[in-house]
Chains A and B, each alone.
Chain A
Amino acid sequence: MFPPIPNPSVAPDAAKPRFGEKDIVRRSASEVTPPAERLTEVAKLIDVTKCIGCKACQAACLEWNNLTEEIGFNHGVYENPMDLTPNTFTLMRFTEWENPETENLEWLIRKDGCMHCEDPGCLKACPAPGAIVQYSNGIVDFQHANCIGCGYCIKGCPFNIPRISKVDHTAYKCTLCSDRVAVGQGPACQKACPTQAIVFGTKQEMKDWADFRIKDLKSRGFDNAGLYDPQGVGGTHVMYVLHHADTPSIYAGLPDNPTISPIVDAWKGVTKYVGLAVMGFAAAAGFLHYVVAGPNKVSAEDEENAEKLTEGTAPPPPDPAQSQGNTQHGSTP
């Protein structure tokens, strides 16, 4: 059994971060040479069934990332703010769900935030080289110096996570505390979680821990308890333990089968290549035509004809009856 260690006690060694540029496996709008050796994949496991919705993770995220969120209003629910924002990388979402089988009320509380997909839609959609990178340990990180604020990442994301700042016009989302992980610490949210509903470790450890949790849940009558590690995006590096893994969408709209939208695929795939080809073809066709057919020049005869016309000596237009191409606009003579 994986011991529920709240925080790996590793002395931070800033001089030697555990991963960095050399470990990038994907870089938006760029080709990268994959590193020779892949780091052990990490993952954060959010056990929804242990979560009490205290929002300590939300507070820790604001504190660690030095974010200042606006003080909002109450909208008749426990969520605050009402959605992820450029300053709220993680948000507790509360759903009151009446279980049709047991008729019992269940208060489903899910910590929303970046899932750190193995196949990140944001990265795929991003047009700015190096604005989004994926490290070989699975962390998907935004590099704000390269971000152009276009918001394509939002459209690429199957989970509706990134948000564009109105202040610096760059995209923000959970970094999985890449800065902390780089020095051997777990993410701030995980450190703050009082019930260890959030745990962090290698992806395999997290899966094993999830198995242990799922067994416990099944013993309590949650027959559909399971792990949320959606394969549609190649698996994720933030996973959930759900009591009702058969219907993720009851958890405030967690996608049942998330994939990168086919529209995004079409846009970043076939459209790009076909588009470039079509434009290139058009230009090339013109060039070729010019080379082959030569310029279309006005002849001296044309000039003469024009002069004749102005002088009223030009031949009349061909009779429409004789030439189907020569029609009159307006009244016929």
Chain B
Amino acid sequence: MTNSWTDIRNTDLVIIMGGNAAEAHPCGFKWVTEAKANRGAKLIVVDPRFNRSASVADYYAPIRQGTDIAFLMGLINWCISNDKVQWAYTKAFTNATFIVKEGFEYQDGLFTGYDESKRDYNRDTWEYEIGPDGYAVVDDTLTHPRCVWNLLKQHVSVYTPEMVERICGTPKEKFLHIAQMIGECSSPTKTMTSMYALGWTQHSKGAQNIRGMAMLQLILGNIGVRGGGMNALRGHSNIQGLTDIGLLSNSLPGYLNLPTDKETDINVYMSTRGFKPLRPNQMSYWQNYRKFFVSFMKSMYGSAATAENNWAYDYLPKLDVPSYDILRMFDLMKQGKINVYFCQGFNPLQAFPNKAKLAEGLSKLKLLVVMDPLQTETARFWEDHGVFNKATPASIQTEVIQLPTTCFAEDEGSLVNSGRWLQWHWPGGSPPGEAKHDTWIMSQIFLRLKALYAKEGGAFPDPILNLSWNYKDPGEPSPEELAKEMNGSALVDVLDPVDPTKKVLEAGKLVSGFGVLRDDGTTAAGCWIYSGSYTEAGNMMARRDNSDPDATGAYLKWAFAWPANRRILYNRASCDLDGKPWDPSRKLIEWDGSKWTGYDVPDIAPTAKPQDVGPFIMNAEGTGRLFARKMMRDGPFPVHYEPFESPVANVIAPKIVGNPVARVFPDDWKQFAKTGTPDFPYAATTYRLTEHFHYWTKNNHVNAVLQPQQFVEISEELAREKGIEKGGWARVWSIRGEILAKAVVTKRIKPMTIDGKTVHVVGIPIHWGFVGAARKGFPANVLTPFVGDANIETPEFKAFLVNIEASTGPVA
């Protein structure tokens, strides 16, 4: 989230698209009802199904899954054509004025530089023209044909309301109604907030879905303001924390990233991470990358990380591929290339696509270790559960070890919510049986490994032997110790660079924020963005003061929000070029002539003059990006690509199947249904139900009572056509597998007309499996295709093809 849950109550218009907040985020959704009840805010829901969010919406429109980009580009096109643009904002705070390099082109769904054999682009032309002063060239008049604005205008011009209807199935008048509602928010005193979740991410172009809305929000002037923003609703209570501390194969904590095998030394690594400002005076905050990186390395390796050994740079693993994401790991497993898999708090047999492939991969492991508070299907993948999980245990040689862990209610620590709030919590109960904290288990394994390395040596024992492990009880670091380590501290006395006689921070003291981190090895911080969360003043995450001066929704004294306790990112953009709020009734911060003051922590330097410094401080331009340069693999502007499995060909680029740069493993091409195939005529999508949380709560009796049994949802029309009865059994199958489920026949799903063809939607909730209290069922991933987003490899769970027929149900 750029904003916070509590800020949603400040909005005038909520659009829920690519998510179903009422269903999947019922507690956070309260802020939507607050905005509606107290501000008269309106709610728009765009979804293939009339869902729980739609049940309280002011306006609902259907959309075919996987066509959000067409819809969003259509909205941008409509806003541009109808002058629904917040011009002052767009000109000053976006890269609309920037001139793009000559040679950049877009044609037939592809940008310049596409190499079909590599399924990748040469992205060199996707850049700004750099002037003789070393800065990007801009055209404030927006007349240059290659300025971003004109390129954007041209790019979106194909997405007319008629085209949107052809692609998305959204009736033109409904689309126009929504466009008008949204267009009103181009006023500086009206804001729209976007709430989305996996309905946008779980596509082969998920990142571009989100970019599409971010671009719209930028031209409406809705980023950085109260009641605006791009608000990703995180699906786990701490999934935000997972990405923050870099639990991805190519990440380091605080959105630093792991070197590739081409970056053999630190200077090469740092050369692409200098982030020189592209416009004068800009903060380009990533210029401080080295400080964060060195502080991280000091935190990891302590005294073993020295200037001489480049802060132990060689200890870091180097990536030979863009990432060892989960899809790739399971593909490697299937190839027999993985021996041991440690599965901590994760149930991939349910959570990743193509269950058959996953099970095959797990069967080829030598050892599978599952750390989880609950029984998981993954830990029991080898058990035979009839139709629900066919397996021949005798033929599976994988040794499985289950290590029971504590659950959130038995742990102390912080959870990071969608609004980036680190909220400390205390255990509510004692762990049952042999359950141990994850920290205990990991420490015990580490200490034993370290002893083995110490005894036996090995090819390169240094990263293990030198890992900093200074805890009171090495066998189980305490949550406070870990929190303080992530916050960071001074290793020696830190002196003021301007006046070295002045001590900024005494050795051993916790840092108060990332501003004091150094690249000379004098500070350590495990996760720079968390600096300030546990300071000498105490545990900021444990604060529970819910005072909120002038009811802005900021709650600065409640817990801690990264970065720097800032509640709304890019909050400088809430003010005009003179530093005055666009909407005085929704003041967030304000330039008082000498400094920034207000309700939130300003994201630019407190004394940075409003005319000089742009609000988007993490970007080298200082502006938001309508044109993403070469930072996205699949294009600087979002393009409508069909899902890999689609009932219709791509209307704007008929030859392109799926996202042209999404990675597909060779075996998986064979497991995709062909576009428009009569064998799999129905557009399927998967989703959560509010009664359940993923695959956990089926272990809980109460949740199992509320939704006891697996079902699929279909329209009355499809049910009639197929002779499927309400409450009867249906068999749903894709090219990869089949499920049997009860049929919920509903008016809430209606057939859509796509490019003249009737397309039926089949909705498949995800929560069932073969362990737990609820009735046995099939995980939806039996059906889903093994392909991910082109940039971040989130699997395409939301759009694929199936067939359906009436069934008599599973044989017990």
Contacts and interface: CB of A to CB of B under 8 A. Distances in A.
| Direct A/B contact, Cβ within 8 angstroms | yes
Interface of A: 4, 49-56, 58-59, 62-63, 68-78, 80-81, 96, 98, 104-109, 194-197, 213, 216, 219-220
15 contacts: A49-B56, A51-B56, A53-B52, A53-B55, A54-B23, A54-B52, A55-B690, A74-B709, A77-B727, A107-B52, A195-B29, A195-B33, A195-B56, A196-B34, A216-B37
Across chains A and B, which 3 residue pairs bring their CB atoms closest together, nearest first?
Answer: A76-B727, A76-B726, A52-B22
B690 A52 contact: yes
Given A77-B726, A194-B30, A54 B22 contact: yes
B691 A55 contact: yes
B274 interface: no
Interface of B: 22-23, 26-27, 29-30, 32-34, 36-37, 40, 50, 52-56, 58, 60, 690-691, 701-711, 725-728, 742-748, 773-775
B37 A105 contact: no
Contacts, number: 122
Contact of B743 (A69, A76, A197): A76
B56 A50 contact: yes
A71 B773 contact: yes
Q: Pick the most buried of B37, B54, B703, B774: most chain A CB atoms within 10 A of its CB.
A: B37
Given A52-B26, A52-B29, A71-B773, A80 B690 contact: no
A72 B742 contact: no
Contacts of A69: 702, 705
Nearest to B741: A74
Contact of A96 (B32, B691, B748): B748
Contacts of B705: 62, 69-72, 80-81
A9 B562 CA distance: 30
B37 A213 contact: yes
Contact of A75 (B27, B33, B50, B727): B727
A59 B743 contact: no
Nearest to A212: B37
A194 B711 contact: no
B27 A107 contact: no
Contacts of B725: 76
A104 B703 CA distance: 31
Given A54-B690, A55-B706, A194-B29, 16 more contacts: A52-B26, A52-B52, A53-B55, A63-B702, A72-B709, A74-B744, A76-B727, A77-B726, A77-B727, A80-B691, A80-B705, A96-B747, A105-B748, A107-B748, A194-B30, A216-B40
Q: Is the interface of A mostly helix, strand, loop or mixed?
A: loop
A46 B60 CA distance: 23
Nearest to A92: B706
Interface-centre pick from B703, B704, B706 (highest chain A CB count, 10 A): B706
A196 B742 CA distance: 32
Contacts of B774: 71
A220 B58 CA distance: 8
Contacts of B56: 49-52, 195
Contacts of A58: 706
B295 to A, nearest CB: 39
A62 B702 contact: yes
Nearest to A73: B709
B22 A74 contact: no
A220 B742 CA distance: 37
A72 B43 CA distance: 34
Contacts of A216: 36-37, 40
Contact of B30 (A70, A73, A104, A195): A195
A96 B742 contact: no
B708 A71 contact: yes
A240 to B, nearest CB: 15
Contact of A74 (B33, B53, B708): B708
A194 B747 CA distance: 26
Given A62-B702, A77-B744, A50 B55 contact: no
B22 A80 contact: no
A54 B53 CA distance: 10
Nearest to B719: A76
Contacts of B27: 194
Contacts of B727: 74-77
Contacts of A105: 50, 60, 747-748
A84 B701 CA distance: 18
Nearest to B724: A76
A70 B709 CA distance: 12
B172 to A, nearest CB: 16
B33 A76 contact: no
